[in-house]
Chains A and B, each alone.
Chain A
């Protein structure tokens, strides 16, 4: 009979790798999103544009932190 806990470290490793890949892809798209916001802010100049750009930048930093957390913390 297969003892489930034997597989736990393997599953956790798989999950960790999956999270790293997900956050890596997510980081790539966050950079594209920030670039897009910068482009849009140049085309339409409103006060809200700078706030949106700030949100996009925070999103990028958060994604980077999550990527680091998935590599080093878990």
Chain B
């Protein structure tokens, strides 16, 4: 079962477009869930703001609000919460659908952010030249997540798996797969 907050899923039960017959998805990666803390905190503040405003003693500083009819104010507050929920949905979708996949034949990098940007890149394992990873900073060291850089041959784009959990294990898996591919070719 794929949990919605998981960022490191071994052999996930998913399928992707253009998946070949018999191709097995070995690993699904997302940014570590901790990287969502900024927007989660933002959403929490968005939810609190109308309550703080309505219950605060400084309400009298905005005399104009007293002149608004009740249904106007009600609609403004409701739409504020609607915007807040949409903000949560868009932020969650941005995290949930930005994934990196490692299959037994290739790696895929699907990037999605904002409403108008979407990018899919893939490369066969045989194209991978070098894999390096780094863990830097306090949260990354404590929570064991980091960046993985995959250099590919020729003119194809390099792959950056950013803020992925357990980068050492991912590094091991990809280098093992590369080794196996090289052995098959030899």
Q: Which residue of A lies closest to B63 (CB)?
A: A4
Contact between chains at B85 and A59 (CB < 8 Å): yes
Q: Which of B68-76, B128-136, B145-153, B167-175 contacts A (4 or more CB under 8 A)?
A: B68-76
Contact between chains at A74 and B110 (CB < 8 Å): no
Contacting A at CB under 8 A, from B11-30, are 12-17
Contact between chains at B82 and A63 (CB < 8 Å): yes
B135 smallest CB distance to A (angstroms): 27
Contact between chains at A8 and B67 (CB < 8 Å): yes
B4 sits at the interface (CB 8 A): yes
B86 sits at the interface (CB 8 A): yes
Chain A interface helix/strand/loop/mixed:
helix
> Bound state CA distance, A49 and B75, in angstroms?
31
A48-B2, A62-B82 as given contacts; A12 in contact with B14, CB under 8 Å: no
A30 smallest CB distance to B (angstroms): 8
How many pairs, one residue from A and one from B, have CB atoms within 8 Å of each other in the complex?
Answer: 76
A2 sits at the interface (CB 8 A): no
B contact residues, total (Cβ < 8 Å): 35
B112 sits at the interface (CB 8 A): yes
A48-B96, A74-B71 as given contacts; A55 in contact with B89, CB under 8 Å: yes
Contacts of B16 in A (CB 8 A): 43-45
Contact between chains at A73 and B14 (CB < 8 Å): no
Contacting A at CB under 8 A, from B113-139, are 115-116, 118, 120
A40-B112, A42-B17, A46-B14 as given contacts; A33 in contact with B90, CB under 8 Å: yes
B93 sits at the interface (CB 8 A): yes
Contact between chains at A43 and B2 (CB < 8 Å): no
A52-B93, A73-B71 as given contacts; A45 in contact with B14, CB under 8 Å: yes
B79 sits at the interface (CB 8 A): yes
Q: Per-residue 0/1 for B83-112: is the Cβ within 8 Å of any A Cβ (1 yes, 0 no)?
A: 101100110110011010000000000101
Contacts of B96 in A (CB 8 A): 48, 52
B69 smallest CB distance to A (angstroms): 7
Chain A to chain B: the 4 pairs with minimum beta-carbon distance, closest first: A45-B15, A43-B17, A46-B14, A40-B97
Residues of B at the A interface (CB closer than 8 Å) are 2, 4, 12-17, 64, 67-69, 71-72, 75-76, 78-79, 82-83, 85-86, 89-90, 92-93, 96-97, 99, 110, 112, 115-116, 118, 120
